[in-house]
Amino acid sequence: MSGSVSRFRRTQSAAVAAVAGNGLMDRRVLLGRGVVLAGAMSTAPLGSLTGAAAEPPADRPLADAPWSLEPGATIQPYEQPSRFEKGVLRTLNNPNGQPGAQGARTPHHLLNGSITPNGLHFVVSWGGAPDINPDKHRLVIHGLVKRPLITSYCIEQFSPNRCMFESNFPVDKVSFSHHVLFNAFKRFSKSYSVSERAALFHDTAARAYRISEPG
């Protein structure tokens, strides 16, 4: 019996080592050890689990931090990173901007949260970021076509009452979010009147697909 138990323990230890060899721990082992630790904490005296770092020195009683004794900074129109985050920066593979591909890696190990700020997103670029005014940007179709077009050509020819915005969601969500697409539609149609935008976003589709309002 003791030989069987010994072989089982050696086999279990080998399995744990194989899993943990890549910096990972088997979840069964983690949960099992967590139960043991919880049991030890529940049966141990409270004083034995209290470390020296948990109590302030006798000659230095607890005091309120200076920042908690005064109002904080006012809200800004466009928030900037905290001064304590000045060292949280992306790693660049082409810091000197040489011609060719550029990449920036997110410093996940330095982030103090689960949300990555926009300025720290992982980026790969082959031609750099263009300086484009979104209010003046137009998608032009030209080259091997009989007539160069811009994206508003269809609406101008058929009128908003015969056009509608559409999407390919949920399939398209692998490339971008529905919020991004919807905001693009809003930007594109901002020069149209309220009734024309209503037709593009709702009325034409409701009429074409015979969708009646509830109630």
Going residue by residue through the chain, which has 215 residues, state the pLDDT in tens, using 9 for 90 and above: 555 555 555 555 555 555 555 555 555 655 565 555 555 555 555 444 454 555 666 677 788 888 899 999 899 999 888 888 989 999 999 999 888 889 999 999 999 888 888 899 998 888 888 888 877 777 666 666 666 556 676 787 888 999 999 888 888 777 788 888 888 888 888 888 999 999 999 999 999 998 887 76
CA–CA distances in Å: residue 106 to residues 48, 78, 88, 95, 115? 41, 22, 9, 15, 12
At 190 the pLDDT is 84
At 74 the pLDDT is 92
Phi, psi of 185 (to 5 degrees): -60, -40
CA atoms of 201 and 190, how far apart (whole Å):
12
CA atoms of 94 and 77, how far apart (whole Å):
32
CA atoms of 10 and 170, how far apart (whole Å):
50
At 105 the pLDDT is 94
Distance of CA 186 to the CA centre of its chain: 23
Residues near 188 by beta carbon (within 8 Å), at least 6 away in sequence: 151, 152
